[in-house]
Amino acid sequence: MKNKLVIIGMPGSGKTTIGKLVAEKTGKPFIDLDEFIVEWTEKTIPQLFEKGEHHFREIETMACMEIAKRKGLIVSTGGGVIKKPINMEWLSDSGVIVFLDRPVDLIMADIIVQSRPLLKDGKEKLLTLYEERYELYKKYADEIIVNDRIIEEVCSDFIAIMNKYVML
């Protein structure tokens, strides 16, 4: 049985913000996978990326394995979690995967690229990542929610999905 909600999507799509709000509204525990990795490794995401993206992705896979063991959570993932199929196997085993699809022009209007390791080269990098990842997000998603409305409406869509999969 699917017992957790896993949010995937581009950096800046609202995964953490919306995940926290949905957790608040439903009383479910919330985990941001990147924050989990920081606590687990006692290193920041930029520090982990200093050893290369491959190094970070290996740690991310171990974190996915750990999160997969836990029940009843709302989890927001890093934008690149979909790059390794094993991550998605672990997360989808007991989780409903929801792609939070925010139009790239809205992401660009919202985010500060310097605060994100993979986007430090500017907004052009965001477009490249979008082109590389968009089909993977759709491939792995059980459900898709477009984040182009007010946050309350988007949260309501998540709660409806949780009801659909009998998570509440």
pLDDT tens per residue, the chain (168 residues)? 899 999 999 988 999 999 999 999 999 999 999 999 999 999 999 999 999 999 999 999 999 999 999 999 999 999 999 999 999 999 999 999 999 999 988 887 776 655 555 556 667 777 898 999 999 999 999 999 999 999 999 999 999 999 999 998
pLDDT in tens, 41-70: 999 999 999 999 999 999 999 999 999 999
Task: Read off the pTM.
Answer: 0.94
The amino acid at residue 28 is: K
Q: Residue 155 has what pLDDT?
A: 98
Partner residues linked to 100 by β-bridges: 145
Burial class (CB in 10 A: 0-12, 13-18, 19+), 14: buried
Residue 32 is encoded by which pair of tokens? 């941001």
May I ask the CATH architecture of the domain 4-164? 3-Layer(aba) Sandwich (3.40)
- From the list 8, 164, 128, 124, the residue with the least C-alpha distance to 74 is 8
**Which tokens go with 141?**
């998603």
- Whole-number pLDDT of residue 150: 96
